[in-house]
Structure formats: structure tokens, C-alpha cells
Structure 1
């Protein structure tokens, strides 16, 4: 079975945006559990110790000139999972992805889609639906103009208000 996110990134010509709005994902992820137990990625270590396969795709995508932006809307005080995500984001930056953070209280007046998503070239949206405990349970492609417009507007508002990764300090 193919991964629709990787398919979208492979086809992207101009842009790929990712909006994340949950405060926790896959709490049984072995990497998250290791982090909770004290494991930390070392940016000065050999890249093979912290590089992930997704980052190869991100690097290839950004090398083609595609602008990859990821915005995360987070509740504060942040969850352990968000602290983990913040801590392990530096490889995404190295791969060429632009990452920003927005405290949820600053997003209260933004009309947002109901779930996390990827949008490619402003033409196709891939929604990901999650269970209550953060497991991805389904994905759906949407291309209707009104869906694209909602997602584009929401993402741009979030992006304008959010802080670059280097400036955001989880509280």
C-alpha cells in the first residue's frame, strides 16, 4: 500500500503545507516512549542517529524548489507529546521544511478545518482522521474549490500568526 502523503510530496510542484492541530499523536510510538524515558536526539551526532526516512522525501521535495511549510496549533501548557515534537523538529528544519508554532489561544478566531491535513500546490487536500487517542484511522483526498479555499485561508492565517520553530519555547 502506498503512502498518500509521500505521493502528494512526490507530485508537488510549488508547495506542500501541513497543518497539525492535535496535542498528542500515537502515544504508544516507541520513539516518543524512548524520549519520555530520557532519550534525546543530538544535532551534533552522526546524522544517521536522528535522520528518518520521511526526511529523505522532504529533502528531495525542497531540493526541487517546493516550499514545505508545517504549522502546529498547540494548547498551553503543552503536553509531553508537544514537548517531544518540539524537541525532535530540528531534523525537519535540516531537511528544508519551514516549521511554525501557534498557541491555540491565538487561533480561537480562525475558521479551521476539523482535522489535520496536507495541501499540495493549493489544488488538493489530504485530510487525516484520528481516533480519540491519536491514531490515524483514515485519510481522504478533497479537491472541491470551497475546501481548497477554506484550507488555504485557514493555513495562511495560522502561518501569519505563528512563531518560527527557533523562536517558540513550549510552556
Structure 2
């Protein structure tokens, strides 16, 4: 799979002599014309691609499908194709490591427009996360405004906005 981008959080000046925890995750890119399936999170006031952590021993594509079903209720997931890898280094919030190295495996796929029931985790529900189909340009503009004006934004919004712009450039016809 191609490497898309590597991002290092502004608080990290060097990786030398740091303990690093690696987390592998998936991100789903489901499109219908200029509409993209996203997760809106009220707490952070942003849009993100559905996906999440890959369980130990889990196949990456199986993890993608599991996360997509859990977070969006997506049905008839098919045509899963590799899009690229987005890497990031972030400060780790627990005392056992200094830095988190997140590797996001991004895949395009096809899903039914009508979504089923979600099985969101407690923290996802408490953050106000919900699946939505949205025009990709609206999602980009919304995230850019959140980056510029909100103190609520999470650390993932830069990744999500970068990916949305790349998806728009390469996949929207």
C-alpha cells in the first residue's frame, strides 16, 4: 500500500530517546458521487472517516469491515481497495510511553446508502458521534473552520482534513 503522508505533532521535537507505542487503525472511504460517509463528533465539532483500531491478530480488512459496521451500521460492504497509509506521531497521554505512532490503513469501499443500527462504544456515544452522508466539500469546509476557530478540536482533525482533500482530488469525478 502506498505511503500517503507522515505527520508529527507540533509538541514533538524529536523521536530520539523516546518510548513509542504503535497503534494500527483502519479508515473507510465510502463514496456516492460527491457524498462521503463520515462520522460527525459533537464534542470535537468535526467530521472523520469511519474506522478505528485493529485488534491483535485481526486482518486489516476484517478490522475495517468490523469498525465500519460498528460505527455506521453500514450494510453490504464490498469492493474494498487499498488507498494508502497515513502515519502520525502524537504525544501519548499515559505515563507508560512518550509518543504514539499511529498508522492508519485507508481503504475505499462500497456500502449501501441506507445505514443500519450502530454499535458505538460508550465513549463514542458520550462524544456525540453519529454517521452521516455529507457532501465532501462541505465536510472539508466544516473541518477547516473548526481548525481555524475552535478550541474543542481533537488531534485527528488535521489527518481527517488532509485525507478528505486527497480523496476529493483523486477520487471525486
What TM bracket, shorter-length normalisation? under 0.3
Which one has the bigger strand percentage?
2
- Normalised by the length of structure 2, the TM-score is 0.25
Bigger share in helix? 1
Q: Which TM-score applies when normalising by structure 1?
A: 0.25
